[in-house]
Structure 1
């Protein structure tokens, strides 16, 4: 069974060690589309022998729309080559105790699309990269926003038709989902206030007129007080996930 992982990248040097630690035993090949990173991301990508690097360019007046268009298309290169594709951001970690075995079982049952249970994970500090995040950051808040249908069979799905941000999709093709959601999508963005402030401030720079007009990525426009309020709210609501 062959699994390809697709992701966009922009200045992800802090998250990439966790990304690879999580997915290296799952992915046979990565296809990473870099949007002109100015940190150490590209050199880190080049160090991983499974990674194929390509470019991602923002077109028109919207980062989110450009990303949506890319996510709706780039996985099609895996048709006839992979049994499953995972499309995600570097801070989106699909978790199952043995995801490869689970997907093999799904293949044998004719399942073609996985919808996870999403969680917004939260930590008081940014963890050490010596362990996978699912071992060190185990608390989070259930978030249906992150029930993202981003694992699917590229040979069965003709079009995935993600909405902006990939929070929902309208797939076309042989769409068969499992009866239970056995996979989690763990979103690791709220990892200490320093990381939140630096990452949100950086991502704010990428937003364009079309994004702000549609309120896409609006949370990146929050000031530090608003970020702190959201961070505290998540911590207070968080439960043990893993």
Structure 2
């Protein structure tokens, strides 16, 4: 069984070690599309033996629409080569106590698309890099907004049809889903208040005029007080997920 992981990267030097720690025992190959990183991300990607680095260029005046188009297309190169693709952001970690074994079982049962149960994970501070995040950041708040089809068989799915922001999709093809949800999507963005304010400050710089006009990526335009209120809510309402 072959699994390919696809992601977009932009200045992710802090998260990439955790990304690889999480997916290295799952992925046979990575296909990472870099959007002009200026930190250490590119050198980290190029030094990883499983990573194929490609370039992500924004077309026109919308980062979000360009990313949507890329996510709708880049996985198709795995047809005939992989049994599963995982399409994600670097801070999105799909969790199952043995994800490869689970996907092998799904493959044998003819399942072609897996939709996770998502949580917005939160921590008091940015964690150290010596352990996987699922071992150190175990609390979060349920967020159905991230229950999106990002694990699927590229040979069974013809089109995934994500909408802008990639929080919904309208897949086309031989769609067979598991009877129950066994996979979690752990979204690791709120890893301390300092990290989230710094990360949002970076991400809002990537927005183009059409993004702002259409409200795409509007979460990245929140001011520090708004981010503090969201972060405090998550801290106060988080439950043990793992």
- Asked if TM exceeds 0.5, the reply is yes
Find the counterpart in structure 2 of residue 223 from structure 1: 223
Find the counterpart in structure 1 of residue 156 from structure 2: 156
C-alpha deviation, 1:155, in angstroms: 0.2
Q: Does 1:232 align with 2:232?
A: yes
Q: Does 1:117 align with 2:121?
A: no
Find the counterpart in structure 1 of residue 190 from structure 2: 190
Aligned residue for 1:39, secondary structure, equals coil
Q: How does 1:196-207 map to 2 (within 5 A)?
A: 196-207=196-207
Q: How does 1:1-242 map to 2 (within 5 A)?
A: 1-242=1-242
Q: CA RMSD in A?
A: 0.6
Q: Distance in 2 between matches of 1:193 and 1:235?
A: 10
Q: Any idea what the Cα deviations from partners look like across 1:185-239, whole Å, max 9, x if unmatched?
A: 0000000011011100000100111111221111110111111011001111110
C-alpha deviation, 1:167, in angstroms: 1.0
Which portions of structure 1, spanning 4 or more consecutive aligned residues, are displaced by more than 4 angstroms?
none
Q: Distance in 1 between matches of 2:174 and 2:226?
A: 43
The gaps in structure 1 that reach 5 residues or longer are none
TM-score, normalising length: structure 2: 0.99
C-alpha deviation, 1:74, in angstroms: 0.3
Aligned residue for 1:44, secondary structure, equals helix
Count of residue pairs brought into register by the alignment: 242
TM-score, normalising length: structure 1: 0.99
C-alpha deviation, 1:168, in angstroms: 1.2
